[in-house]
Amino acid sequence: MELSDKLFYSLVGFGSLAALGACTFLGGGDGAAFALFAILVLGGSLVCIWERSVVRSAFCLIGTFGGTAGLFLLLGSDFLAMSQILIYVGGILALILFGVMLSPPDLTERKLPRVLSGLVAVGAGVAFVAAKVASTVNWVQAAELAEPEHATERIGVGFLAYDQYAIAFELAAIVLTVALVAAVYVARRRKIDLQDEGAQG
């Protein structure tokens, strides 16, 4: 571990603890759960950006995706949380890991000043916009929120009812099929390429 790594991880750790404490203080048990998942999300992506090794970065994304699923649970969308874990962690992450395996490792590509300046610049910009928005937008909240409704069945019905989301659902299915076929088509090795390699080899 280099000095910069030690500094970074301790900063992340302290920040997480502080956020956990603050949220627990503000929101009790709910706040603690929220803080836990938010830390997973943000910590995962921060470490993903920081890490030198692509493999580790990819694994850090588990935190990001899982944390997002947790936030969905807190928001009362259990079906969405399940889909998130299934598709992101089970599918997309696996795809990215395939990509990692098929490309050469390069531990020198991360440039520290670049990462730091990127974090500072984009972070500052977004923070500025967010702060301005947060201070100007009038956050009207419902006086009393309804209980979170676990609407798995309703989502299923929504998928199938023609007056709701059936067409969008079918379209999504078609898009997915086309995209997968296209992916296979784009990624295939052409005969000519193979011949070229054969000629060279």
> Residue 18, interface with another protein (CB under 8 A)?
no
> Residue 129, interface with another protein (CB under 8 A)?
yes
Structure tokens at 196: 């070229």
Q: Which of 5, 10, 25, 27 binds another protein (CB under 8 A)?
A: 27
Q: Which of 1, 3, 29, 144 binds another protein (CB under 8 A)?
A: 144
**Distance from C-alpha of 20 to C-alpha of 36, rounded to nearest angstrom:** 7
Count of residues of this chain found to bind another protein when the rule CB under 8 A is applied: 93
Q: Is residue 182 packed enough to be buried (19+ CB in 10 Å), middle (13-18) or exposed (0-12)? A: exposed
Element (H, E) at 147: none
Q: Which of 8, 36, 48, 63 binds another protein (CB under 8 A)?
A: 48
Looking at residue 147, its amino acid is E
Q: How far out from the chain centre does Cα 13 lie?
A: 20
For another protein, give the closer residue by CB, 3 or 102: 102
Q: Which of 1, 143, 192, 199 binds another protein (CB under 8 A)?
A: 143
In the complex, least distance from residue 3 CB atom to another protein, rounded to whole angstroms: 20
Q: ∠ CA 47-64-180 to the nearest 5 degrees?
A: 115
Q: Which of 118, 160, 170, 195 binds another protein (CB under 8 A)?
A: 118
Structure tokens at 166: 């059936």
Q: Which of residues 152-191 bind another protein (CB under 8 A)?
A: 154-155, 158, 163-165, 168, 172, 175-176, 179-180, 182-184, 186-187
- Given a contact cutoff of 8 angstroms between Cβ atoms, the answer to whether 44 and 62 are in contact is yes
